[in-house]
Amino acid sequence: MKLIPVFKPFLDSDEQKAACNVLDVGWLGMGKHVGDFESQVSDYLGLEHKYAVAVSTGHAALHLALILMGVGKGDEVITPSFNNVADFQAILACGAEPVFCDVLDETLCIDLSKAESLITKKTKALIVMDYDCHLCDHEQIQELAKKYNLRILHDAAHSFGSKYNGKRVGTFSDITMFSFDPVKTITSLDGGMLIVSSEEDVKLLHEMRLVGMTQPSTTMYQNKRAWTYDVERIGFRYHMSNMHAAIGISQLKKMDVIEKTRKQACEYYSEELSKINGVRVPLADFTDKVPFLYYIRVDQKIRDALREYLFKNGVDNGIHWQPGHSFTLFKDCKKGDLSITDQLCKEILSLPLHSNMDKSDQISVVNSVRKFFEQSL
């Protein structure tokens, strides 16, 4: 029986040609393709007075962003507990402590009123994450940051290509991170990117992603390396490779198809699944969104039974995510009222969503959900 996967990268001969080209050239580390990828992402986003820096993973982007913000030992960083574990680990890696905040029931994005109640003298930064087809209230976020003099890390791992008030995500936030891992809207096999606001930030990131070496990226972007350099600060092996960047460039060229087909699939899902009593679909307008996930919420008493039924009928599914405060490593971290998070994590279920997804697969997903509820009546 064919299994419809939750995620499926949109790859074809273009990516194969791009990979073969890198192998033929033989420069496999950070080089020309990385510089080209940064430049093309900048053009796609329409960046003005902002800069794109490519790194090895989304987690690397998170970690470097927090360091750039000056987060360190004794600091607190407020984050939704309903978030990816990569964010929590990045906070710990800086020597700081995560403070877990609740999300809004309608959008699953951070509840800013609850976040404000968690701000103390130790609060150094706030992580705000766009979830799936929902974007945070970024205007209110900027007001909160100004009021308390906080740095904002915009986790846009889910929202590459989306727009907020007509502006591309990445063009308006303090620091924005993107993830291009194997399951994201576009993939570079693995990779991440930071959007920052100054050339000084770019210089620091270039050094930190390359184990602290002051080797100029302008040299490496010519598929060359400098043999003399200094090391002035802590660094990590967080640079992106030419192979990953070449795949990312190929994917970026498909954004029109990716955006159109993901919107269409989500609109179909919402239209059909909303007709099923017991299924709660996202209250989202997909006009300016490029969805990464599609989720539904159902009664917690039947969620796991639905998951098992779908899998047995060829529809893979997932849970995004387990809340941070449920993990052993973070169980003693400071947290506020997490009643919405605790409830939604028992109800949420991710359904298959792919770029250029076959309509027959979409129909199969909907029919499987419908049949489960018909049999449960």
pLDDT tens by residue, 235-244: 999 999 999 9
The stretch 294-299 carries a mean pLDDT of 98
Per DSSP, the three-state class of 318 is strand
Q: Which tens digit of pLDDT belongs to each residue from 128-148?
A: 999 999 999 999 999 999 999
Q: Write down the CATH number for the domain with range 13-252.
A: 3.40.640.10
Q: Which among 359, 295, 322 is positioned nearest to 132, based on CA atoms?
A: 295
Whole-number pLDDT of residue 84: 97
β-strands 151-155, 163-164 pairing: unpaired
What confidence tier does 346 reach under pLDDT thresholds 50, 70, 90? very high
The reply to whether the predicted model has a pTM over 0.95 is yes
| Residues of each domain in the chain carrying CATH 3.40.640.10 | 13-252
pLDDT score of 52: 98
Cite the residue boundaries of each domain of the chain with CATH code 3.90.1150.10: 255-376
Is the model's pLDDT at 17 over the cut of 70? yes
- Identify the CATH class of 255-376: alpha beta
- Cβ neighbors of 83 (< 8 A, separation 6 or more) are 127, 129, 155, 321, 324
Q: What is the pLDDT of residues 89-106, one digit of tens each?
A: 999 999 999 999 999 999
pLDDT in tens, 73-93: 999 999 999 999 999 999 999
Residue 151's CB: how many other CB atoms inside 10 A?
19
pLDDT at res. 1: 78
pLDDT digits (tens, 9 = 90+) for 102-128: 999 999 999 999 999 999 999 999 999
Question: What pLDDT is recorded for position 376?
Answer: 80
- The overall average pLDDT reported for the chain is 97
How confident is the model at residue 8, as a pLDDT? 96
Alpha helices in 165-285 (DSSP H): 199-208, 217-220, 242-252, 255-273
Give the pLDDT confidence score for residue 367 in this predicted structure: 98
User: Which tokens hold the place of 43?
Assistant: 């053009």
* Of 259, 273, 239, residue with least CA distance to 371: 273
What would the two tokens of residue 121 be?
A: 């003298």
SS (H, E, C) 283-311: CCCCCCCCCCCEEEECCCCCHHHHHHHHH
User: Is a pLDDT exceeding 90 seen at residue 177?
Assistant: yes
List % helix, strand, coil for the chain (3-state, nearest 5): 40, 15, 45
pLDDT band at 360 (very low <50, low <70, confident <90, very high): very high
How many Å apart are CA 90 and CA 364, to the nearest integer? 39
Q: Is pLDDT above 70 for 324? A: yes
Residue 204 reports pLDDT greater than 80: yes
Mean pLDDT value across residues 172-199: 97
Look at residue 19 in the predicted model and tell me its pLDDT. Answer: 97
Is pLDDT above 80 for 377?
no
